[in-house]
Structure 1
């Protein structure tokens, strides 16, 4: 693991910004978010795998996936499945991905009981490294609090650690 810790800050009361520098070229980091074969190897917190990952990587396209807890040490979470769906709004190849992230079921139906997030991922060239900026905007302050209370910050930190490990394995 690198010394490039994730930095997080809240803007206003409904926007969470996460930043981290990865020691990999921007094009490679971008590809990690657009190709199912990469996402299946790093998406999700430690102990969780991605047995289903379908991507239609274009504006209006859908990314539908399942994370499943495969770690018996995670107690009540062991065996649990968590489905998600992203609907792409904007893609600038190598630079930016904007999508709305939803909790869903296995059929891709949105779970309206849980908050959605408009996510903007910016991939910034940092001299052979890549600064990744994730800006998540929630409908309300309560929606942001809900996902924070669910452990989202720990989950994304572990997810980005796994991304770094994947980058190191393929670069």
Structure 2
């Protein structure tokens, strides 16, 4: 397998109630970090194929929040078309450009976290690899069942498509510079 194919590969493993996702991006660590920390970047790539981010409010600091709405704009996605999925993250720790730690939950439009859906403690590690970036996304859930619930909701193909969108965004940013 060539290196370029490996770059686009999402590697996932489950360890009890923890999901570890790894992917290599063809972009410098500072740029990948910036794509995760600024609303003007997130609006271009966050969400699976066919979904947009019409609402994206980022207060990127420990104690700050990221409140967003993903909306399905793809008529080919049947019952999902027109659907909105709200989320809210609370930033706990930020080490630029190495790491972001936050809790992530499903929310409503007002930012109230849903008690019926699993919340995740997310740790993003950005590892410099000779001009590329290895992203290690560690998600900790309250239980293996909570993790299974989000897997059953299609989280793995969704995050894989989201990271595909990030690949395209990073490529476009580097072309324009």
TM-score range (shorter-chain normalised) is over 0.9
Match of 2:121 among 109, 118, 122: 118
* Aligned position for 1:14: 17
| Superposed displacement of residue 160, structure 1 | 0.2
| Alpha-carbon distance in structure 2 between the residues aligned to 1:61 and 1:142 | 29
| Alpha-carbon distance in structure 1 between the residues aligned to 2:141 and 2:114 | 15
Match of 1:94 among 93, 97, 104: 97
* Aligned position for 2:160: 157
Number of residue pairs the alignment of both structures matches = 169
SS of the counterpart of 2:91?
strand
Please give the per-residue CA displacement for 1:65-98, whole angstroms capped at 9, x wherever unaligned: 0000000000000000000000000000100000
| Superposed displacement of residue 135, structure 1 | 0.2
Please give the per-residue CA displacement for 1:102-130, whole angstroms capped at 9, x wherever unaligned: 00000000100000000000000001000
* Aligned position for 1:51: 54
| Superposed displacement of residue 168, structure 1 | 0.2
1:21-170 counterparts in 2 under 5 A?
21-170=24-173
| Alpha-carbon distance in structure 2 between the residues aligned to 1:110 and 1:10 | 25
| Alpha-carbon distance in structure 2 between the residues aligned to 1:99 and 1:64 | 12
SS of the counterpart of 1:125?
strand
Q: CA RMSD in A?
A: 0.5
SS of the counterpart of 1:146?
helix
Q: TM-score, normalised by structure 1?
A: 0.98
